[in-house]
Amino acid sequence: MNAREDIRASEAATGKQVGRGMPDAARKYQPYPTVGLTDRTWPSKVIDKAPIWCSVDLRDGNQALIDPMGHERKARMFALLLDMGFEEIEIGFPS
């Protein structure tokens, strides 16, 4: 069974759908009021779209975990991150 099939089987068994990301998350919150500082440019800028999200959960450093992830567990997490909508994922493997 591959990672995606494992996730689907888990969803079917529990009746819970694994996260699919948060569509249009940038519109969920209202922007802060602007600060009128004429001698600076950055306070008047308003963020109107979400930043580019990048998961770093699978980077090298896995050895610092109490229970380090093996290849199968990393593959399951990779599939989960893809299903959540991440388009950029940093992955590290020990040399």
Instruction: Dump pLDDT digits (tens) for 11-61.
Output: 667 666 555 556 666 667 777 777 777 787 777 777 777 777 788 878 766
Q: Is 2's pLDDT higher than 80?
A: no
With a cut of 70, say whether residue 80 has pLDDT above it.
Answer: yes
Can you read off the two tokens belonging to residue 23?
């569509």
Domain boundaries, the chain: 1-19+48-95
Tell me the pairing of strands 89-91 and 55-58. Answer: parallel
Whether 86 has a pLDDT exceeding 70, the answer reads yes
Q: What is the pTM of this model?
A: 0.47
> For residue 89, what pLDDT is reported?
86
Mean pLDDT of 67-77: 84
Distances (CA, A) of 58 to 9, 32, 35, 69, 83: 23, 33, 39, 9, 15
